[in-house]
Chains A and B, each alone.
Chain A
Amino acid sequence: MNYEVTIGLEVHCEVKTKSKMFSPAPNNYNENPNENISEIDLGFPGILPIANMEAVRKSILMAMALNCKLPEKMFFDRKNYYYPDLPKGYQITQNTKPVGINGYIDVYVADKVKRINIHDIHLEEDTASLDHYDTYSLIDYNRAGVPLLETVTEPCIHSSEEALAFLDSLRRIFLYTNISEARTDRGQMRCDVNISLAKKGSKTLGTKVEMKNINSFSNVKDAIEYEIKRQSELLDSGEKIVMETRRYDDTTGKTYRMREKVENLDYKYYIEPNIPPFKITEKLINEIKEELPMLQFERINKYINEYELSLYDATILTKNIETALYFEEVIKKGVEPKIAANWINTRILGYINKEEININDCTFKTDDLVELIGYINKNVISTKQAKDIFYKCLEENKKPSIIIKENNMEQITDTNAILSVIKEVINENLDLAKSYNPERGRTVDFFVGQVMKKTKGKANPKSAMDLIKEELLKLIQKN
């Protein structure tokens, strides 16, 4: 392709609070329309919106997570436009002083680090939701007034992979910090994509096309890829790109023109006079800073550098904070990081993903994993047995030690006990034993098999093999 793609994203994410941004109506998902509303959400005359402290705190926390510069005071603005999803005729948002500006996050795109610059992040109220039918539209105001954080990137993204890596990282930050549940299936996280193509080496950006309200990450990827193809074909054939807003249809996988964007709409922004500015004090900043956990990107790097894990393992372990904390607790209790990572990434995550539960709800706690790995290290059980014990622990909700005892699973590590079984097996197969050739391993394998059979798999295989070799050698030397 002869063109360089430039993408900027605007991501809306609903903030998790008990009440709405400016009203005391509940902020929770309700399938029954128009039940989560107050007169403030409906824009009745004489209303007085008062900002929700929790939403303000969470917006500051997110601004910190995105390394943004905070304003000294929290201001809100009115964005005026006329549409049925907005009963007041304006949306309370932040324009003059967003809660965060000039930030960045680093993300992994495949195995490379890419810095995504954040233009700003601002706190606002969500609009009502509209359902459109053939001749009419229906309005549900449940969503009107839900606190919403909009993150706006700089036009610094150059592929669908980078866009997706950013969206995934952003979503993980919302989850790590408990700012939002960030569920795309409930429309809690929605994305506008601005995309332009310019000739490679060109110093100016191409004409921008906007795609509004894309509701899943895979749709963002498909929409971007479709637009790259559509725009490059137009440019190849000498045509011009029109500045417009397009809609992505996931059933056809294509984008369709919604309206030509002649110039930016004049929203006649002005500072919301009903909400006095709120000072963001040093004390408040310090309090909120305490709540900021180590985020995924830093954790990945820590796991790679300190624990010598692969990027792949570190990424899986840090996908959610609960798993990361589980892993860290296990290694704090003395387990080798690589062994802990293997167990968690394969067995434990395999199980909780299948059961669709959170790692904190899994009955196999960190102590159980530490205990189980301890038994392997002490040769009490084999790795294979450990896997069986793990599943039995989950099935029967019992500790590893109980399962081992109840099923008589301890390995025989006592050399004398193993030796007496070996002698028995050799006597039973004396001719074969006498034909033992140390150059060929098959005889040893046969005897190991026999010993394991007699001990019901409990003999430590390594000790058994070493002892068999010794005994067979002694036998042929004697003859």
Chain B
Amino acid sequence: MITKELLKDYANKLMFDMKDEEYQTLLKEFDVILKQMDLISNIEGINQVEPMTFPFELQDVELRKDENIRTITKEDALSNTDSKMGNEIRVPKVVE
């Protein structure tokens, strides 16, 4: 059962909050989603079905050889930030 309190708790864990009407919308959406889930859960033998994580069973997956070292330049890397110090990216302090 999804309640407003539960949604509020999840939102807080993800560090945001919503307006009351947004919670109402979300609760209605969850109601539909859960009903659909119930429908699926009631399909006979569903517990025996392995979850599908990939649509195709690939037989010959190649991994990358540990060679051909390549980097981007430090300048390129740092060009995406407007907050740097020396060659490092500067962010607000993230520990107390």
Residues of B within 8 A of A36 (CB): 71
Residues of A within 8 A of B80 (CB): 42
Q: Are A19 and B87 in contact (CB under 8 A)?
A: no
Decide yes or no whether B63 CB sits under 8 A from chain A. yes
User: With A25-B70, A26-B69 known to touch, is A34 a contact of B63 (CB < 8 Å)?
Assistant: no
Q: Are B63 and A18 in contact (CB under 8 A)?
A: no
User: A5-31 vs B: 1/0 string, CB under 8 Å?
Assistant: 000000000000111000011100000
Decide yes or no whether A294 CB sits under 8 A from chain B. no
Q: Are A52 and B94 in contact (CB under 8 A)?
A: no
Decide yes or no whether A286 CB sits under 8 A from chain B. no
Among all A-B residue pairs, the 4 with the closest Cβ atoms: A54-B66, A53-B63, A138-B88, A50-B64
Please pick, from B13, B15, B91, the residue contacting A137 in the complex, using a CB distance under 8 A.
B91
Residues of A within 8 A of B93 (CB): 132-137
Interface residues in A, total, Cβ within 8 A: 46
Decide yes or no whether A249 CB sits under 8 A from chain B. no
Please pick, from A17, A32, A83, A273, the residue contacting B66 in the complex, using a CB distance under 8 A.
A17
Decide yes or no whether A243 CB sits under 8 A from chain B. no
Decide yes or no whether B78 CB sits under 8 A from chain A. yes
Residues of A within 8 A of B89 (CB): 34, 138-139, 141
Q: Whose C-beta in chain A lies nearest to the C-beta of B92? A: A136
Decide yes or no whether A329 CB sits under 8 A from chain B. no
Decide yes or no whether B37 CB sits under 8 A from chain A. no
Please pick, from B67, B68, B91, the residue contacting A139 in the complex, using a CB distance under 8 A.
B91
Residues of A within 8 A of B65 (CB): 53-54
Please pick, from A25, A39, A138, A276, the residue contacting B90 in the complex, using a CB distance under 8 A.
A138
Give A contacts to B, CB under 8 Å. Answer: 17-19, 24-26, 32-39, 42, 50-56, 75, 82-84, 130-141, 265-266, 271, 273, 276-279
User: With A33-B86, A34-B87, A35-B71 known to touch, is A56 a contact of B63 (CB < 8 Å)?
Assistant: yes
- Shortest Cβ gap from A48 to chain B (Å): 10
Alpha-carbon distance between A273 and B52 when the two chains are bound, in angstroms: 11
Residues of B within 8 A of A139 (CB): 88-91
- Shortest Cβ gap from A263 to chain B (Å): 9
Please pick, from A18, A84, A140, A279, the residue contacting B67 in the complex, using a CB distance under 8 A.
A18
Residues of A within 8 A of B54 (CB): 271, 273, 276-277
Decide yes or no whether B6 CB sits under 8 A from chain A. no
Alpha-carbon distance between A133 and B67 when the two chains are bound, in angstroms: 37
- Shortest Cβ gap from A267 to chain B (Å): 11
Please pick, from A17, A55, A131, A277, the residue contacting B61 in the complex, using a CB distance under 8 A.
A277
Q: Whose C-beta in chain B lies nearest to the C-beta of A36? A: B71
Q: Whose C-beta in chain A lies nearest to the C-beta of B80? A: A42
User: With A266-B13, A273-B54, A278-B61 known to touch, is A37 a contact of B71 (CB < 8 Å)?
Assistant: yes
- Shortest Cβ gap from B57 to chain A (Å): 9
Alpha-carbon distance between A16 and B86 when the two chains are bound, in angstroms: 28
Residues of B within 8 A of A34 (CB): 74, 77-78, 87-89
Q: Whose C-beta in chain A lies nearest to the C-beta of B89? A: A139
Decide yes or no whether B43 CB sits under 8 A from chain A. no
Q: Whose C-beta in chain A lies nearest to the C-beta of B70? A: A24
Alpha-carbon distance between A25 and B69 when the two chains are bound, in angstroms: 6
Q: Are A136 and B91 in contact (CB under 8 A)?
A: yes
- Shortest Cβ gap from B2 to chain A (Å): 15
Residues of A within 8 A of B63 (CB): 50-53, 56, 278
Residues of B within 8 A of A24 (CB): 64, 68-71
Decide yes or no whether B53 CB sits under 8 A from chain A. yes
Alpha-carbon distance between A26 and B61 when the two chains are bound, in angstroms: 23
Q: Are B69 and A84 in contact (CB under 8 A)?
A: no
Q: Are B87 and A39 in contact (CB under 8 A)?
A: no
Residues of A within 8 A of B1 (CB): none
| Residue of B59, B70, B92 most packed against chain A (CB within 10 A) | B70
Alpha-carbon distance between A31 and B70 when the two chains are bound, in angstroms: 18
Q: Are B66 and A137 in contact (CB under 8 A)?
A: no
Residues of B within 8 A of A38 (CB): 70-72
Q: Whose C-beta in chain B lies nearest to the C-beta of A28? A: B69
Decide yes or no whether B58 CB sits under 8 A from chain A. yes
Residues of A within 8 A of B86 (CB): 33, 138
- Shortest Cβ gap from B47 to chain A (Å): 17
Q: Whose C-beta in chain B lies nearest to the C-beta of A22? A: B64
Residues of B within 8 A of A130 (CB): 94
Residues of B within 8 A of A140 (CB): 88
Alpha-carbon distance between A43 and B84 when the two chains are bound, in angstroms: 18
Q: Are B64 and A53 in contact (CB under 8 A)?
A: yes
- Shortest Cβ gap from A295 to chain B (Å): 24
Q: Are A83 and B77 in contact (CB under 8 A)?
A: no
A sample of 7 cross-chain residue pairs with beta-carbon separation below 8 angstroms, ordered by A number, consists of: A32-B87, A34-B87, A35-B87, A50-B63, A134-B93, A135-B92, A138-B88
Alpha-carbon distance between A39 and B71 when the two chains are bound, in angstroms: 8
